[in-house]
Structure 1
Amino acid sequence: MTTPTGLPVMQETTYDVGGKKIFVAETGEGPPVLLLHGGGPGASGVSNYTRNIAGLAAQYRVIVPDLPGYGRSSKGVDGADPFGHLADHIRGLLDRLGLDRAHLVGNSYGGACALRLALDTPDRVDRMVLMGPGGVGTTRTVPTAGLRSLLAYYNGDGPSRPKLEKFIRNYLVFNAAGVPDSAIDERYRASIDPEVVASPPLRRPSGRGALRTLWKSDFTRDPRLSRLPVPTLVLWGAKDQVNRPSGGRMLADQLPNCDLYVVANTGHWVQFEQAGLFNRVCSDFLVGHR
C-alpha cells in the first residue's frame, strides 16, 4: 500500500534517546538499513530519501530517522563535536530498536554521522554506503560555494524561500529542473521552525575552540580510518558543489575495504538525481554483491 506521494505506508514512532526525542519512520522487512539524511536547511529523513524508500523496502527493513536538530526530532546539536553527537544518538536509537547491528546509508551530514559511528563502534555496523559525506577534509580551509550558501542560510537577513531555492537549484543538484517546487516549499516550511531558527543545527565552528572542532571533524586525520573493517561503498556526484568529489578518492585510498563510484552529471544529492542507479547499486552492495 502506498500514499498519494508514492511512498509506502510507514510506521511512525518517536523514541527517547539520551534525553532527546528521535522521530523514526520505517517500512519493509529484512536486514535493517538506517537512512541518515543530509544537513541542509529544512532537511528530514523521509524528504531526503523520498525516491529510495520504496525501492529499498522491497528487500530491507528501512528505518528513516530525523537526525537531532531536524524534522520532528528534538532540536539542538553539540557544536563542539557535532558528528560525535549525531553518532551517539543514532547508536542509542539502535539500542532502543533492539538492534545489535545494522547497515548505514548516509548522505552528506548523515554520511559523517555514519562514518563516525562506524569508527567509534565498528561492531555495530554491517555495511555502509556514503554519498558525498562531510568530514573528509576537502572543505576544512576553503569551503565550496555550495557549502558557503548552506552555512549562510540563517545569517544576514535570515532564512527565505529564494535563498533556499538558490542553494538547492544552484548547488545541491546538477539538474535544477529536476527538483519540483513542492520539495522546496516543504523544506522552506521546515527551515523556519522557530526552534531551528534560534539554534541552527549546522553551522561552521567559530570563536574559541573552532580550529580544534574543525580538525576533530576531519576523518582523514583519524588513524582509525585505515583500520576500519566495515565494507564501504562511497558514491559521489562528479559535479558536487557542496563537498568536493576529491573526497571520494581520499576515502578509497585510506579505507581498507572501500569501493568508490563517481556518478557523472550528478551533484551532491546522488540518491535523488540518480535514484534508479542508487537504489540498484545500494541494494546490491548491502546484500554482498559488488
Structure 2
Amino acid sequence: MTTRIQPPSMHESLLDVAGKKIFVAETGDGPPVLLLHGGGPGASGVSNYSRNIAELAKGHRIIVPDLPGYGRSTKGMDGTDPFGYLADHIRGVLDRLGLDKAHLVGNSYGGACALRLALDTPDRVDRMVLMGPGGIGTTRALPTPGLTSLLNYYTGDGPSRLKLEKFIRTYLVFNAAEVPASVIDSRYQDSIDPEVVANPPLTRPKSLRAAWKLDFTRDKRLARLPVPTLVLWGAADKVNRPSGGRMLADRMPNCDLYEVANTGHWVQWERAELFNGLCADFLAGRR
C-alpha cells in the first residue's frame, strides 16, 4: 500500500493505458505539466514532488502520475526497452486526458522517460525540464556508486530499511541530515510491496546491446530535437554524473543548463525554492 503524501485538493484517478492501470493525481489550472518521478525504491509521483506541486499549480494544471511499476500503478516493466515502455504509457496518459501536448518535468528515471517521449514524438511536448536524467553517457563509464547501490537494492539479501537509508542519505542527497526518518520509513514500506519485490521496476541491462539502447548520447535524434529544454543537475550528484548535463547541452540545439551547487540527485526536493522558481519561469517562457 503506497503512503499518500500529497497537498490537499488533488483529484485522483486510475487511467486504463494499454491494459495497465496508471495512477494520476491532478491539481491547478493552466497549461498542463506532467511531473515524472525518479526510479529509486519506494518512489511515487506525489511523494517525490511534495515540495513543488502547490507552488507550480499556481499557474499550471499539474498532473502527477505514478510511473508503471511504481506507487499505485500496475506493477511490472518491459526490461527489453524500459525507457520506451515508460514513454509509451505516459503518452497514453496524455491521450486518456485528451491532451495533444504538455510540458514534461522529469527527475532521473522520469527524466529518461520524458526525453524518450520527446525524441519519439516531439510534437507532443511543449517544454521540458530534466533533473539529473537517467541514460546520459551510461555506456561511457562504469556505473556510479549511487547507481550501483540503487540497482543492488532488490538483489543479494533483498530489500531492507538499512539499505534504503544508506542509498538515500549517502547517495541521493547532499545533506543527509535534512532527510527525516519518516521519508525513509514511508519509502521503505512502499519498496517491499510483494508485487514490486517480485518485479523490481529498475534492473540492470541484460546485455551490452540493451545498455547501448539506454544511452541517449548515442541517439542521433538529440541533435534535431526542437523541444526547448532546461537541464538542472546537482553538482554533487552521486547517482547520475553531473557531466551528463554538459553532454546534453552540447548535443541538443535548444538546451539550457543549470548546475546546482551543494546539491545531490534530488534537486526538486533539496533545493525546492530554487527549483520551483526556475521551473515556473522556464515553463512560462521566461528564460
Task: Please confirm whether the aligned pair reaches a TM-score higher than 0.5, indicating the same fold.
Answer: yes
Distance 1:131 1:271 in 2: 8
Corresponding residue to 2:220 among 215, 218, 223: 223
Can you give the 5+ residue segments of structure 1 that lack an aligned partner in the other structure?
none
Using the aligned pairs only, state the percent identity.
79
The aligned counterpart of 1:12 is 12
The aligned counterpart of 1:170 is 170
1:73-106 CA-to-partner distances (Å, cap 9, x unmatched) read 0001100000000000000110000000000000
Can you give the 5+ residue segments of structure 2 that lack an aligned partner in the other structure?
none
Corresponding residue to 2:241 among 244, 257, 264: 244
1:133-187 CA-to-partner distances (Å, cap 9, x unmatched) read 0011146640000001000000111100010000000000001011111111110
Greater alpha carbon shift after TM alignment, 139-148 vs 260-269: 139-148
1:178-199 CA-to-partner distances (Å, cap 9, x unmatched) read 1111111110000000000001
SS in 2 for 1:248: helix
Distance 2:42 2:116 in 1: 23
Corresponding residue to 2:269 among 254, 257, 272: 272
The aligned counterpart of 2:257 is 260
The aligned counterpart of 1:70 is 70
Alpha carbons 1:234, 1:260 under 8 Å: kept = yes
Please give the residue correspondences for 1:117-136 in structure 2 after superposition, counting only pairs within 5 Å: 117-136=117-136
SS in 2 for 1:87: helix
1:45-85 CA-to-partner distances (Å, cap 9, x unmatched) read 00110000001001100000000000000001100000000
Code of the aligned partner of 2:117:
L
Code of the aligned partner of 1:288:
G
The aligned counterpart of 1:152 is 152
Alpha carbons 1:249, 1:260 under 8 Å: kept = yes
Alpha carbons 2:5, 2:47 under 8 Å: kept = no
Code of the aligned partner of 1:45:
G
1:240-277 CA-to-partner distances (Å, cap 9, x unmatched) read 00000000000000000000000000000000000000
Distance 1:5 1:167 in 2: 21
Please give the residue correspondences for 1:86-97 in structure 2 after superposition, counting only pairs within 5 Å: 86-97=86-97
Code of the aligned partner of 1:276:
E
1:233 and 2:240 aligned: no
Cα deviation, residue 8, structure 1: 3.1
Code of the aligned partner of 2:209:
R
Distance 1:76 1:237 in 2: 30
Cα deviation, residue 204, structure 1: 0.6
Matched residues, number: 284
TM-score, normalization: structure 1?
Answer: 0.96
TM-score, normalization: structure 2?
Answer: 0.97
